[in-house]
Structure formats: C-alpha cells, structure tokens
Structure 1
Amino acid sequence: MTEHYFSASTGTSDRRLPLRVRLAGQDLDLVSSASVFSGHGLDKATAVLLDRLDEIAEPPAGARILDLGCGWGPIALTAALRDPSAEVWAIDVSERARELTAENARRSGAANLVVAAPEDVPEELRFDAIWSNPPIRIGKEALHALLLQWTARLSPEGTAALVVGKNLGADPLARWLGEQLPEREVRKVASAKGFRVLEVGPSV
C-alpha cells in the first residue's frame, strides 16, 4: 500500500461515512472517509488532547489557532466552536482531509474556520496557539522539520499543544523540542491512555 493518510491525494474511494461525535460540548452530525486518518471516529490521541484542554494554556479571546494535520477536523472544529471570535486555521497535505474539514465546518456552523493546504498559509501569519495530533508516522526527520517549521510561526506569547503516544517517542520528542527551542519551555502537561500532551510555552 503506497497511499497514506498523509499523502496529498488518493485514489481510494471517496465513500463518505456519517460520523456523529461530541465536540466542544455539542453533538454533531459530520462526515468522514476511510481514506483519512481515523476516518471512522475520534482517535484515542485526539480524544486525550481534547479532554485535557483545561490543562494547557488558554488562548486569548480572538486568538489565531492552528490545527496542524487536521484530518476530518475534530481539533479545528473544537477550537472554532469553543471560541467563535477565534480565527482557526486547519491545514493538511491531504486534499480529501481538507474537503472533509470544510464540509464539517459547514455542518457544524463553524464560520470562523479556514481550511488550507500548508503552502497556502500566508507567510506573514503568526499563531497564538497550535493544537495538533501530529503525523508521527511520516518519520522522525520529516516530523522534526514539520514541527520546527510551524512552531517558528508562533507569536512570542504563543503556545503549542501536541499529543503523542508514549510508545511513539513522546518523551524523546519533548527533549528534542526543548533542545531546539531553548527560548521556550517544553513540558509534559498531561498523560493518559498511553499518550502524553506536550506543551511548548511562550518565549521567555
């Protein structure tokens, strides 16, 4: 199998799957597809992150928030529905993932959600928060490059929250991020069900 959920396009059948999930305290009727990450429901790592948003830094009202690797959109939708004054960007290399997230934004009434390919995000934009279940399986080198690229676009006061499996290298990744971002504190803020929530703090 040469296609992955992190491929830009896919020849896999685009059969849409109905998806009923609870996000930001709301029961939502959304759609997904088998060709995107966790297409049949909310994956465990994302659920851990969303269940522990009260343990990470609260973005200011009207914040610009980035969901890095949005899939069908659960993190971006949560951010957008929690704060309608926020400007939420959902990015993914997968065209199908972007289509699904855009459709789910319409279904949920999240008018403050912008869906884009990574290369289409304006260079001058800076983010107050990044919330992400990053694509660990793209490989260490590609993952490191991705995280450095986007954490560099945090505002000085901005923070990032990443959920990573313990058995997929959460602790080594936390140490590496701390080494690469010496001006920002990197810490483990939560741990549950085999996952860590890592937080990259503001510049000091």
Structure 2
Amino acid sequence: MSNAADLLRTAGLPPLEARILLMHVLGWRRTELITRDLEPLDPDAVARFEALCARRVKGEPIAQLTGKREFFGLEFDVTPDVLIPRPETELLVELTLEAVADTPNARVLDLGTGTGAIAISIAHARPDARVWAVDRSNAALDVARGNARALLDTARAGGPVSFVQSDWTGNVDPSLLFEAIVSNPPYIASDDPHLEQGDLRFEPRGALTDDADGLSALRTIIGNAPFLLANRGALWLEHGYDQADDVRALLKARGFTEVRSMRDLAGIERCSGGLFTA
C-alpha cells in the first residue's frame, strides 16, 4: 500500500503544493506528514489525492481544490464563484482599519465582496464596527454569508456584516453614510494576456476584468462614493501594478483630498485612496 512519503515523492507537483493537497485529503497536520510518513494509507484517500494532483497539473488553483484560503489570519471557504483572496489585498484591510481607527462604531462599505474576505476581516478586527458587503453575484454572496457565519459572532444585535445584492452602490441605502468605503474591483484590462494564464483561467472573469480598459469599475466607484461617505470619509481601492497614476488622478478630479498610493510587500503601488469632505 502507498504511504505519505511515496505519494509526496511521486506527486509530480512542487513539494509545498503536494503537502497541502495531501494534508487536505488526509485531514493531517504538517507534523503528521513527518511522524506518520510510512503509515499505509487507505486506497480511497490515495485515489482522491491523485485526482487532485491531476487537476492541479492542469492548472486548477490550490484554493479551489481544497476549498480554503487563509486571509488576514482567517480561513475562508472558496468556490469557483469567487475570486481567491490574495495576500496583497491584506493591505486594503490594513488601510481601512487605519482610516476608522479613531471612530467608534464605524460604518464600512465593501464593494464587490466576493468571499467576504475584506468585509469579514474588518468586522473581525473591529467588533464594534458595522460593515456592509456588496456583490452583484448571489452565488458570491452565498459564499460570503457562509464565511461570516463561520468566522464572526453572528449573534450580535444587527449582525456584524450586512449583505446587499447590488451592482456597485445601486441598491445601497442612500441614507447610510460610511466612514470608509473599500473595494477590490475588477481592474484587469480585457486584452491582458494574464487572463488566459495560471489560476486566473479558473476564476470568475467578472471579478477579474471590466471587459474594458481596466479602469471602468474604478471610475464608477470613485464617481459614486462621495454620495455615501460621511464627512472626511475615506475611500481605498486596490488596482493594477501600473494604474496608480490614473487612480490618483481620478480621485483628485472627483474632489478627494490627501490622495496617496501605498505599496504592497513587493514594492508595487497596490492601493490608492483619499478623503472626501462632504
């Protein structure tokens, strides 16, 4: 019978990926792959592992194979209906938390929530805040609601996160005013070859590209955000590696002040934002 050592050696994948998939199939911790590496494995488990390896070789993302992805210290469920949370997007959470740090019971709006990773991470870090999470996809909202139930104290009065089906701000209650609005919108241009490469091939196209120049969703959000921001409320947006200049220009043209871009751990200007005086 096969054992863990044999499977890892013959998986045909980078060692880290093979370990992740084998731990997922067996329900083992990483230390068990060492201490139990010669233990005979159930043939069904071996078959499931080999099937996952075959799918990974064809390019299917690890997060979709395991159904999980860690983000901001929390483990989120992932399906093919949502964008896989990425480490660089944690910067967006940090900037939003900084923006509302001195505001008790702050209201935060997350546009294009997907898995709910941004909204839920903010709510987890700031239990006093009220967070609204918007997505046009009902399938994505179902994933986000499930993540909220698993990761947050949903018994709290009013709930820590309110979910809204909407194409950007269209269905958001106009009487609400937010201390911060945050978004990781689709910003890849429709002709970008990366859309046909790697993990992106398996993720929802509408979460990746605006099917235009990559700036149309950013223009819409920047144009509408002032109607929903409290006085000196903050807007923070993730964007592409080469879009910072354009996004700063859009923010300034719409009347935002203290406009700036922040670099991710790779040194790329990843997020831009500013304040709006009502």
TM-score range, shorter chain: 0.7 to 0.9
Distance 1:174 1:102, change over 3 A: same
In structure 2, the residue matched to 1:4 is: none
> Contact 2:100–2:106 at 8 Å: present in 1 too?
no
Query: Residue deviations 1:133-188, cap 9 Å, x none?
Result: 12222133343123311243111121112122222x12211112111225x33112
Higher helix share: 2
Give 3-state SS (helix, strand or coil) of 1:178's partner.
helix
Query: Which residue type is aligned with residue 186 of structure 2?
Result: P
Are the structure 2 counterparts of residues 67 and 142 from structure 1 closer, same or farther at C-alpha, using a change threshold of 3 Å?
Answer: closer
- Root mean square deviation of aligned Cα: 2.5
| Equivalent AA in structure 2 for residue 159 of structure 1 | A
More strand by percentage: 1
**Structure-2 separation of matches of 1:197 and 1:110:** 29
2:186 matched to 1:135?
yes
Q: Secondary structure at the match of 1:62?
A: coil
Amino acid at match of 1:113: V
The structure 1 residue matched to 2:261, chosen from 188, 192, 197, is 188
Name structure 1 gaps, 5 residues minimum: 1-14
TM-score (norm 2): 0.58
Helix, strand or coil: the match of 1:162? Answer: strand
How many residue pairs match? The answer is: 181
The amino acid across from 1:123 in the alignment is P
Give matches, 1:8-19, under 5 Å: 18-19=67-68
For 2:247, the equivalent position in structure 1 comes to 173
Equivalent position amino acid for 2:275 in 1 = G
Partner of residue 113, structure 1: 161
Per-residue deviation, residues 63-109 of structure 1 (Å, max 9, x unmatched): 01011111101100111101111110010111111111111000112
Q: What does residue range 85-164 of structure 1 map to in structure 2 within 5 Å? A: 85-111=128-154, 112-118=160-166, 119-136=170-187, 137-138=209-210, 139=212, 140-164=215-239
Q: Distance in 2 between matches of 1:43 and 1:176?
A: 25
Which residue number corresponds to residue 53 of structure 1?
Answer: 95
Query: Where do 1:30-69 residues align within 5 Å?
Result: 30-38=76-84, 42-50=85-93, 52-53=94-95, 56-59=98-101, 60-69=103-112
Aligned counterparts of 2:65 and 2:149: Cα–Cα separation in 1 = 15
d(CA) in 1 for partners of 2:270, 2:229: 21
2:145 aligned partner, one-letter code: A
| 1:18 partner letter | G
Measured in 2, the distance between the counterparts of 1:76 and 1:55 equals 11
Percent identical = 28
| Partner in structure 1 of residue 118 of structure 2 | 75
Q: Secondary structure at the match of 1:90?
A: strand
